[in-house]
Amino acid sequence: MSLDQFAIIESTLREGEQFANAFFTSDQKVEIARLLDAFGVEYLELTSPAASPQSRIDCERIAGLGLKSKILTHVRCHMDDAKLAIDTGVDGIDVVFGTSSYLREFSHGKDIPYIIESAIEVIEYVKSQGLEVRFSSEDSFRSDLVDLLTVYRAVDQIGVNRVGIADTVGVANPRQVYDLVKTLRGVVHCDIEFHGHNDTGCAVANAFCALEAGATHVDTSVLGIGERNGITSLGGLVARMYVHDPVAIRGKYHLPLLREVENYVAGLVNVDVPFNNYITGYTAFTHKAGIHAKAILNNPSTYEILDPADFGLTRYVHVAHRLTGWNAMKQRAEQLQLNLSDDQVKHITAQIKMLADQKNLSLEDVDVLLRDYHSQMVAAEGLDILPAAHG
């Protein structure tokens, strides 16, 4: 598969609901679903209808919206849950079962033959109802490899649409993800999904490695919200894949909507979008050092691998600091429509750098200094004395 063929399973309305601060009303869920659909994600994954009465109602409501994104709901590998899920009108069902020794011993207490038996029962039933079905093993990276492959092979043989690898605890590193997905790719014929938690900051890299190794689907959530510190973020994956192939990503997704959906979700869960967030962070397109600023002004590709305009954003050259340079200052003077020669700009830049050594300047401070200097120059020209530029 070419890397551009991947699909996003957007799980803000499932994994994201497991974020500590998340409480979405029914209308808010609909708004999130509509925004993500307009952004262009291929799938939306919703909380199990078995979770609570309102979860079931919301699942039915979103399944009935007629969105372009396919609607999935996420259930335990259990016939009762599967039946409830099918009745909501969703397009497909994501089934999950814990295969790690931790979960087998301390959570559900079931052995591998039992897991396979119940997986087959549920998958065959969901398929008989004409729905798409995925089987995933929770905590895959702490599961025995032979157990894992035995389960995946069994579900692949009965025609599951996708198998999922879940790094439930965020323990995996990119090479381990690559190796496991590559091995699995040699064992099953169906699609492969990756779900990765971000406990050690590898969630985006792990998702990318999964795709490189042959995975077809990646789970994301807006801003990465989920259990603990969350999973692969939608923006992070989009940034990573954009750098891989900007044309394909611009074609697949409506990129300027990213900021809107992030701001909306951030507001609902009462967090700020982090300053260093992929693409939309406050400083994501801010350039500071004089050398960077000069090069960026000549050609943005020198220090930018993502074009902010593709995301409806603009770059910012930070000039009010001691590392500034005259090229950046000249651009600021031009923005203020102050006509100064290069020598004059160099002169005032030197003064501003000296001041910036004494205190933290604001852009307003710089603008005042530039305007004052410009007025002095204009006055001097009127008097026909112009020594200041070389002073």
Q: Shortest Cβ distance from residue 136 to Cu ion (Å)?
A: 10
The CA-to-CA distance between both ends of the chain, in Å, stands at 65
Beta bridge partners of 96: 76, 136
Task: Give backbone dihedrals phi and psi of 143, rounded to 5 degrees, phi first.
Answer: -100, 155
Cβ closest to ligand HCA, residue 184 vs residue 329: 184
Q: Which of residues 262-321 bind Cu ion (CB under 5 A)?
A: none
Is 217 part of the annotated catalytic residue set? no
Q: Can you say whether the dihedral through the CA atoms of 1, 37, 178, 206 is positive or negative?
A: positive
What minimum distance in Å lies between the beta carbon of 95 and ligand HCA? 8
Burial class (CB in 10 A: 0-12, 13-18, 19+), 274: middle
- Kindly list the distances between the CA atom of residue 231 and the CA atoms of 36, 183, 358, 365, in Å, as whole numbers in the listed order: 17, 23, 43, 41
Q: How far is the CB of 92 from Cu ion (least distance, A)?
A: 18
Query: Which CB sits closer to ligand HCA, 138 or 147?
Result: 138
Which is the catalytic residue, given 197, 287, 292, 374? 292
Residues 14-53 that bind Cu ion (CB under 5 A): 15
Q: Please report which helix (H) or strand (E) contains residue 163, including its range.
A: strand 162-167
Q: Which of Cu ion, ligand HCA, none binds 287 (CB below 5-8 Å, type-dependent)?
A: none
Residue 246 neighbours by CB distance under 10 Å: 15
* Contact footprint for ligand HCA (CB under 6 A): 15, 18, 74, 94, 96, 136, 138, 164, 166, 168, 195, 197, 227
Nearer to ligand HCA (CB atom), residue 168 or residue 280? 168
Q: 74 vs 347, which CB is nearer to Cu ion?
A: 74
By a kind-dependent CB cut-off of 5 to 8 A, residue 104 interacts, out of Cu ion, ligand HCA, none, with none
* 221 contacts 16 by C-beta, under 8 angstroms: yes
Q: Least separation, in Å, of the C-beta of 296 and Cu ion?
A: 38
Distances (CA, A) of 294 to 290, 325, 357: 6, 8, 21
Q: Please identify, using beta-carbon distances, which residue of 197 and 374 lies nearer to ligand HCA.
A: 197
Task: Identify whether the C-beta of residue 49 lies closer than 8 Å to the C-beta of residue 85.
Answer: yes
Which of Cu ion, ligand HCA, none interacts with 374 (beta carbon under 5 to 8 A by kind)? none
Minimum Å distance from CB 46 to ligand HCA? Answer: 12
Nearest approach, Cβ of 370 to Cu ion (angstroms)? 52
**Contacts to Cu ion from residues 178-197, by CB under 5 A:** none
Report what 328 binds from Cu ion, ligand HCA, none; CB cut-off 5-8 Å by kind. Answer: none
**Shorter beta-carbon distance to ligand HCA: residue 82 or 345:** 82
Q: Are 218 and 241 in contact (CB under 8 A)?
A: no
Residue 161 binding partner per list ligand HCA, Cu ion, none, with a CB distance cut-off of 5 to 8 Å that depends on partner kind: none
Q: How far apart are CA 27 and CA 48, in angstroms?
A: 18
Q: What are phi and psi of 166, to 5 degrees?
A: -120, 120
Q: Which residues are part of the catalytic machinery?
A: 292
Q: Which residues are at the interface with Cu ion (CB under 5 A)?
A: 15
